Structure 1
Amino acid sequence: MDKTQQMNIQIMENLLNWDPLGYGEDSYETEVVDVLQAVHVYDSVSILAQKIQDIYEFSFEELIPLSTCKKKAQELLFIKNSGSCEL
């Protein structure tokens, strides 16, 4: 398994264990895939946090606080960046 696959699995597991709206961890499969894609596109915590908020709001018509989304964005970008460092 290459580093990108490992990183994607870590990000997916992180997101699948996140229940930001209280619907149960199995309620967000579509959103997890959309956020995973966004992680690959954006390197800014602020922009990624806004995208995360938008993705979940679009699906559930509920707003996750931006501060919560920023914390998640930081975690996801940490996973992304720790997997891409090579000497």
Structure 2
Amino acid sequence: MESEMITNLHYVDILNEWDPFHLVNGNYDTEIADTIQAIHELDHMDDLAERIQSIYEFSFEKTIPIDNCLQVAKQLLVIKDNDSCTI
């Protein structure tokens, strides 16, 4: 349980640093929560990138290029894979 909490904090750090719309102070709390849920549901980078793109597009009515979403999806799945390897 504690390991999962630490992993989720890593996800939050990555997503806060990403800041795709350059909002300075972030304000992506809802999108980050939805993205973390998606990470738990999805294991493929393309699927996660598409979900991330749709989450942010729904909130901001702007589309993030899929390449940007793929980059962050890859970082998030590396963390997920590393966490699942530590039992």
Q: TM tier, shorter chain?
A: over 0.9
Aligned to 2:43: 43
Report the AA paired with residue 59 of structure 1.
S
Structure 2 length normalisation: TM-score?
A: 0.92
Gaps in structure 2 of 5+ consecutive residues:
none
Distance 2:46 2:65 in 1: 13
- Percent identical: 40
Shift in alpha-carbon separation, 1:58–1:13, aligned structure 2, 3 A: same
Aligned to 1:78: 78
Once superposed, what is the RMSD of the aligned Cα atoms? 1.4
Gaps in structure 1 of 5+ consecutive residues:
none
Q: Matched residue pairs, number?
A: 87
* Stretch moving more, 66-75 or 15-24: 15-24
Q: Which runs of 4+ in 1 moved over 6 A?
A: none
How far apart are 1:25 and its partner, in Å? 4.1
